Amino acid sequence: MTDTFFNFLRPGINTTIQDIGRDNLYHIGIPFSGAMDKRNFLIANKLVDNNLKDACLEFAYQGPLLEFFGNNIVCAITGNVSFKIIREDKSEEEGNCYESFNLKKGDKIDILSTNKSTYGYLSIKGGIKAEKNFNSYSINTKAEVGPNEGKKFDTNQRIYLFDNLNKFKKKKINYINSKIEFIRVLKGTNFNYFSELSQNNFVKDEYKVSKLTDRMGMRLEGPKIKNIVNTNIKSEGLVKGVIQVPADGYPIIMLSDHGTIGGYPKIGVVISADYDKLTQLTPGSKIKFKYISLKEAENLFKLYNIETENILNQVK
């Protein structure tokens, strides 16, 4: 028996293992984590016939260069990703997202970039051989939990895989990541801390995603939001999607690896249905918000679920 694994010839900028995340740990300071763009994560698993919750590799911007050791595996990449497959005989193939491909000993995948988007996913049939930590394969580099000692991957590290013994049969789907016009939000619990003008400007003006954006949070640049009550509140629990406004007036959106407690007033919360698309916005992207009601948000989430279901059913 030989081992089946990927060796990281180049780790990429932020490559981690993610699944659907972990719950019931906020009270000790551990957030959900999990794949940032859940829909693309699910499609990746579906393309290789995995359980939809199996662990995938998530990468951001420049992805990893991986060399395969073993006999045969089946993979798929989702997102807006440029990549190539370098065969053992050095021939190169342009990679196509949203269709499965197989790799033999000595083949490499070179994940070049996530074009005009942030996150991409690499699924491997059978999942990744790793140890769960707190009931999840998700790596949270901030709390140092998850496989690989809770750290992102480095050069010459390995992830172990399952050899695929069945005959390879390509699966694919025609899917395009659509752009979103507005990020829809519900008013936050401190909405009345902000001046009426700022409440209005928040949805009238455009914001820009700043460079200081990662799996923990997304900082925004744009019109300052004026606080007329108090720039601090008593520290309290946060959830992903919460938009906090610190004293400097520039909003910060909490993302999947966020600190579980925060002391800045909340102007809004991004609705669950728009979260995937929010996380894909790259630094420099324009972002426009829109207030909607709780009922609308709940209906949009139902739609999002139906849409996801339909997409998964189209994988053939």
Binding residues for another protein, rule CB under 8 A, total: 42
Binding mask 126-165 toward another protein (x if CB under 8 A, else -) reads -------xxx------xxxx----x---------------
| Shortest distance (Å) from residue 136 CB to another protein | 11
For residues 245 and 241, give the distance between their C-alpha atoms in angstroms, rounded to a whole number: 13
Mark residues 12-51: x for contact with another protein by CB under 8 A, - for none.
Answer: -----------xxxxxxxx-x-------------------
| Position 234 contacts another protein (CB under 8 A) | yes
Residue type, 295: K
In whole angstroms, how far apart are CA 306 and each of 225, 253, 291, 300, 303?
A: 36, 26, 23, 10, 5
Residue from 200, 230, 235, 313 binding another protein (CB under 8 A) = 235
What does DSSP say about strands 81-86 and 72-78: parallel, antiparallel, or unpaired? unpaired
- For 295, half-sphere exposure in the C-beta direction (CA atoms, 13 angstrom radius) is 0
Cβ distance to another protein smaller for residue 155 or 230: 230
**Quick one: CA dihedral 168, 99, 21, 293, positive or negative?**
negative
Interacting residue with another protein among 115, 230, 237, 248 (CB under 8 A): 237
The residue among 26 and 69 lying less far from another protein, judged by its C-beta, is 26
Whether the CB-CB separation of 17 and 55 falls below 8 Å is answered with yes
Secondary structure of residue 11 in the 3-state scheme:
coil
From the list 245, 231, 154, the residue with the least C-alpha distance to 201 is: 245
Name the one range near another protein by CB under 8 A: 86-94, 105-113, 155-163, 270-278.
270-278
165-204 footprint of another protein as x/- string (CB under 8 A) = ---------------------x-xx---------------
How far is CA 9 from each of CA 6, 17, 29, 131, 156, rounded to the nearest angstrom?
Answer: 9, 17, 34, 22, 6
Identify which of 276, 89, 310, 63 has the alpha carbon closest to the alpha carbon of residue 183: 276
**Closest approach of Cβ 265 to another protein, in Å?**
13
Output the smallest distance, CB 40 to another protein, in A. Answer: 19
List interacting residues with another protein (CB under 8 A): 23-30, 32, 133-135, 142-145, 150, 186, 188-189, 234-239, 241-242, 259-262, 266, 269-272, 294, 297-298, 301, 305
